Amino acid sequence: MTLKTLPGHELTVLPRHPDGTPCAHELTEHGKALEAGCTGREDYVGVCACAQWWETDEVHGLLDARHARHLRELAGGES
C-alpha cells in the first residue's frame, strides 16, 4: 500500500539553523549562509498537519520516508 498523502496529514518540511530556529534565507547550493543573520542550514524538521507527528533529520528525503510510515500506521498499522 502506497499512500502519499492523507487528508489532514500533509507534510511540511522546514530547514533549521544550528540553534534550531527556522531558516527561510537564501543559501548557496552547498547550504552555506548568504545573508546577514543567517548561520547556515543545520537540519530539517518535518511536521505533519495533524500535529501528532514531527521529526528532525539532516536529510530531507528521510523525513519524507518517515512521514510515509506515519501514514501507513494511520492506514492500518502494518509495519
Given the rule CB under 5 A, which residues bind Zn ion?
9, 23, 25, 38, 48, 50, 53
Least distance to Zn ion, CB of residue 54, Å: 9
Pairing verdict, β 43-48 and 11-16? antiparallel
Least distance to Zn ion, CB of residue 30, Å: 14
| Bridge partner list, 44 | 15, 57
Pick the closer one to Zn ion by CB: 48 or 63.
48
Least distance to Zn ion, CB of residue 11, Å: 8
